[in-house]
Structure formats: C-alpha cells, structure tokens
Amino acid sequence: MIAGTRRWLMVVALVLAGCAQGSPGEGPIGEQPGPGPDAAGPANNPNDVDNDGFEVGVDCNDNNPNVNPSALESCDSVDQDCDGDVDEEAFDASTYYADTDGDGYGDPDASVDACNPPADHVANDDDCYDDNAEVNPGQTGFFTTDRGDGSFDWDCSGGVD
C-alpha cells in the first residue's frame, strides 16, 4: 500500500512540475504569450485584429491600424477617424482662397482648408479687391476711374496706378 501511495505521489509531482512550465510555446503560468515579431500592438487581442487599441465595433476598419477613432484625417479619400466624414480637417489639407470675381487671384480674407480646391477658390491670396476681375496683381492697364471702392490701386501694388 505504501508503494502505491509513493507512485501516486510521484505521478502527481511530475504532473505538477510539467504544468509549471506551461504548454509548448507558452510562458510561465499566469503569463500570456506576447505578440509575435510582426504584431503591431502591445498584445494580440482577437477582438482587435489590427492591434491599434480599438476593437471590432468601435474601429471602422479593423484590418488597418491607421484607421481608428483617434486617427488623424489625411487627404486620401479614406475616413481615418471613423466619424463617417472623409478627409475633413485633414492635417495635410491646403489653404484655398475665394475668387469671387474669377480673375485667378484669391481674397486673403476668405480662406478654407481643404484637400481639393472648392469651386471658385484658388491657391493664392493675391487679390486686393475681389469684387472686380480687372483688379489683380497682373493688371498692367491704366484707369482714370476708381476700381469700385474709391481706390485707384488696380494692380494691388499698394499705390495709385
């Protein structure tokens, strides 16, 4: 009977010793395996496929770590921040200026940041009077009447022309 008890205790001791090491590929008891060498996040979470810290249901594209609710928008026709709007407030947007008179020169006091120029907007802010297409920095003509606002500065040079 004592021999049987010893064998049983020996089996239990071996089983416990084997369990302390964990299964092949796992760390010690209580530790979870870390991400593999190609994983992007702090741990492989089955509910966060791209390991960007946002789980499926919150992350609108869980296959792309650059798309999640805290991502910055950029001009690429993709909704990076998962708010349903594409490229709004993009960090790489350009500034465009209203050109209401259509002379190719924009009003420095009427700008918008966008990924593409909106209608009736240009990339320069060189127009000094955007209510008259003949008033612009490219004007070389001589005028004997004011431009429409009492000024005779038709070429936006800051002086009388």
Domain count across the chain: 2
**What pLDDT is attached to residue 16?**
53
Output the pTM of the full model: 0.62
113 vs 56, more confident? 113
Residues 82 and 103 in one domain: no
**What pLDDT is attached to residue 160?**
75
Residue 98 lies in a domain: yes
Query: Is pLDDT above 50 for 29?
Result: no
- Six-digit token pair at 73? 């928008």
The span from the CA of 116 to the CA of 100, in Å, is 17
Residue 125 lies in a domain: yes
73-94 per-position pLDDT tens digit: 999 999 999 999 999 999 999 9
Query: Is pLDDT above 80 for 99?
Result: yes
Residues 58 and 79 in one domain: yes
Please give the average per-residue pLDDT across 47-67, as a whole number: 89
Residues 78 and 63 in one domain: yes
14-18, 123-127, 154-158 — which is least confidently predicted? 14-18
Please give the average per-residue pLDDT across 102-130, as a whole number: 97
Which structural domain, as residue segments, surrounds residue 112?
Answer: 93-133
- Six-digit token pair at 84? 């349903």
Contacts of residue 130, Cβ cutoff 8 Å, sequence gap at least 6: 98, 99, 100, 101, 105, 106, 107, 110
Residue 53 lies in a domain: yes
Please give the average per-residue pLDDT across 151-155, as a whole number: 93
Query: Is pLDDT above 60 for 115?
Result: yes
Residue 61 lies in a domain: yes
